[in-house]
Amino acid sequence: MPDLSSDSESSPTSQSAHPRHVSYIDKSRNYYAAVGYDQPYRWATNDDAPFAMLAKPLAESTVAVVTTSAPFGEDGTPVLPKRSFAQLVSPVPAAMFTDDLSWDKDATHTNDVGSYLPLAALETLADSGRIGALAKRFYGVPTAYSQRKAIKDADRVLAWCREDDVDVVVLVPL
């Protein structure tokens, strides 16, 4: 039986025909060391995350969405540089800018906005009484940058959620 405790990928000389898992934590540490950083990548932790039971039933809660995709401007070009934003949910955007994000572009696409920005689906759930309401705005944040900037964006999104009386947030990163 092959040793599955290794975090390396299988090779042609491997006894197993199935790939082994890839340890992205180890790969990230090795990458940072290889490019000359003195310290390995420090993975974000948040032991004080405010996960808790809902204060009221979901059927009475206002739900918002946070995405990592970016809006297009009125001229049809992406709003760049990417920054955090709040945008009205109605009308649901026909498209969002995702080309700069990492996802398997050979296996799937982002032509169907509803597949990664479920505003219409949440509106249907609100209409049926499964959720109380869809928030009047959805929010977006960029992805590839420092924890310091992520905390600033998180604080901004939290303020918007409070302005919009949001009870529940659905995070939809690409």
Same domain assignment for residues 110 and 146: yes
Is the predicted pLDDT of residue 8 greater than 80, yes or no? Answer: no
The total of structural domains in the chain comes to 2
Same domain assignment for residues 72 and 152: yes
The mean pLDDT of 71-76, rounded to a whole number, is 87
- Give dist(CA 95, CA 117) in Å, integer: 10
Q: Which residues contact 77 (CB under 8 A, 6 or more apart)?
A: none
Is the predicted pLDDT of residue 9 greater than 50, yes or no? Answer: no
Quickly list DSSP for 96-138. -B-TTS-S-TTT--S--GGGT--HHHHHHHHHHTSSSEE-SEE
Same domain assignment for residues 149 and 71: yes
pTM reported for the whole predicted model: 0.71
- Give dist(CA 80, CA 60) in Å, integer: 36
pLDDT band at 86; cut points 50, 70, 90: very high
**Would you say residue 110 lies in a domain?**
yes
Q: Please provide the distance, in angstroms rounded to a whole number, between the alpha carbons at the two ends of the chain.
A: 37
pLDDT in tens, 136-153: 999 999 886 677 888 899
Is the predicted pLDDT of residue 1 greater than 50, yes or no? Answer: no
pLDDT in tens, 52-66: 788 899 999 999 999
| pLDDT score of 24 | 75
| pLDDT score of 145 | 65
Amino acid of residue 126? A
Q: Token pair for residue 28?
A: 């990230």
**Would you say residue 140 lies in a domain?**
yes
Domain hosting 86: range is 58-172
Same domain assignment for residues 66 and 128: yes
| pLDDT score of 3 | 43
| pLDDT score of 129 | 97
Average pLDDT, the chain: 84
